[in-house]
Amino acid sequence: MSTILRKKDLPYCKGCGHDLIAKNTAKALERMGLEALDVTVVTDIGCHGIIDGCLNTHTVHGLHGRSVALGAGIAMGTGRQGNKIIVFIGDGGSTIGLQHILEAARLNLDMTVVVHNNMLYGMTGGQTSGLTPCGFKTTTSSEGNPWSGYDLCALTHTSGAAFSGRIAGVGDISGTLQEAFETAGFSLIEIVEICPSYGVRLNPGKKLREIMESSGKLPGRWMNDRKPFVLEQGKKRGDLLKELKTITASHDMPPGGPVSVILSGSAGEGVQLAAGILATAAVSTGYHVTQKGSYPVTVGVGFSTAEVIISPRPVMYHGIDIPDMVVITSVDGLEHCRRRIEAMKGGSLFIDSSLECPPTGAGVVAHDFRSVGARNAALFALFRMAAVTGILQPEVIKSTALASGLPAAVPVGKMMELATG
């Protein structure tokens, strides 16, 4: 009496290799001395997947093609030593989920994938699969499949699987299954069968070994000497809130209402950094702030814009339509903000003097902000903005900038002198 199988008669067609695989799996596991609950069998969609109800093991029946990824999650999630994760999958599922198989092999997860390769989709009517050999007839290739099938073992072997093996589904295959199950790390065993309902009928007289030989998918074993992936369990990490610097309001806040500021330049030119310094300096002056970034999907080119609201009271809505102040340090930044600059009826525009100033109702301060280097232009303009408008003390911007971890080469003091002199 099997401890793994709860039924002697399995629900497969007469002559189906799935029956052979299930019984030899049980035989191998029992020979290894494993109890039923030492084993979790994850099944895919297909005829093989109806084995669940016949097993005394833990069973997990998932989606078509995804069982290897599902089993991988279990393998990574369970901390139980000696636990065996086995995935049953068909040839159809193994092509839908090919990425999952390669990933599990690459990571060398401690699990075994048993591919029931009957060379076609049996449950849905005998259609051609990605493992159907060239010349093999299916219900959707009556003249014979014109393409060769994937070599799963070659794929998993080159992806890093500890064990990849292929055998014909004939006779006692429990020894090779046991070899796969006993592998520390990822193992895949492809068992080639002929579906009695479609494969035998459409390919009369063809022998399994002949098909394997003519397709070049010969039996074999391929090893990689690798240690299995071991998950670090329960490692505690730092509190994300405690990483943040608490900012104390330690400077006098000038009178006035909320001010909206847009800084706009080119990606990689320190716009977001300057906006962060502005926001921190504002909070240390007692303001509430919001800082919104805008940029194209590219990281290193195009515009980079930051919208900062500085307010004596908490800010709920953080959008800016027409800003009170704008800093423009490059043509990218100018083009991105042109509409809003032209719509300004007051406020201040601080623009690099190399740029053509658009028509605007804002007071314009043109200055060679880029003279201190393109990466410093936005910060330099902040000093000028502070000096002209009085919303923040330049000294506060300076101390905030120096405390922000800027490279020593950034001429913070010089910029303040130039801007306020």
The CA distance from 105 to 222, in Å, is 13
CA-based end-to-end distance of the chain: 95
State which residue, 171 or 255, has the beta carbon closest to another protein. Answer: 255
Least distance in angstroms from the C-beta of 199 to another protein: 25
Per CB under 8 A, which of residues 340..359 are in contact with another protein? none
- By CB under 8 A, residue 206 contacts another protein: no
Per CB under 8 A, which of residues 211..240 are in contact with another protein? 231-240
CB 112 within 8 A of CB 167: no
At how many degrees (to 10) do helices 271-283 and 394-403 cross? 120
- By CB under 8 A, residue 159 contacts another protein: no
Per CB under 8 A, which of residues 20..39 are in contact with another protein? 36-38
State which residue, 192 or 275, has the beta carbon closest to another protein. Answer: 275
Q: Tell me which of 62, 92, 149, 394 binds another protein, using CB under 8 A.
A: 62
CB 251 within 8 A of CB 282: no
State which residue, 227 or 245, has the beta carbon closest to another protein. Answer: 245
Q: Tell me which of 10, 32, 76, 200 binds another protein, using CB under 8 A.
A: 76
**Residue 389 identity:** T
- By CB under 8 A, residue 196 contacts another protein: no
The CA distance from 338 to 405, in Å, is 32
State which residue, 76 or 374, has the beta carbon closest to another protein. Answer: 76
- By CB under 8 A, residue 93 contacts another protein: no
State which residue, 206 or 292, has the beta carbon closest to another protein. Answer: 292
State which residue, 287 or 369, has the beta carbon closest to another protein. Answer: 287
* Binding piece for another protein, criterion CB under 8 A, among 280-288, 345-353, 364-372, 388-396: 280-288
Site size toward another protein, by CB under 8 A: 75
Least distance in angstroms from the C-beta of 204 to another protein: 33
State which residue, 282 or 419, has the beta carbon closest to another protein. Answer: 282
Binding mask 300-329 for another protein (x = CB under 8 A): ------------xx-xxxxx-x--------
- By CB under 8 A, residue 2 contacts another protein: no
- In angstroms, the Cα distances linking 28 to 108, 158, 179, 188 are 22, 27, 9, 15
- Under 8 Å CB-to-CB from 257, ≥6 apart: which residues? 311, 312
* Binding piece for another protein, criterion CB under 8 A, among 274-282, 323-331, 379-387, 403-411: 274-282
- By CB under 8 A, residue 246 contacts another protein: yes
Least distance in angstroms from the C-beta of 130 to another protein: 17
Q: Tell me which of 25, 112, 138, 290 binds another protein, using CB under 8 A.
A: 290
Least distance in angstroms from the C-beta of 161 to another protein: 16
The CA distance from 138 to 195, in Å, is 10
* Binding piece for another protein, criterion CB under 8 A, among 56-64, 144-152, 367-375, 387-395: 56-64
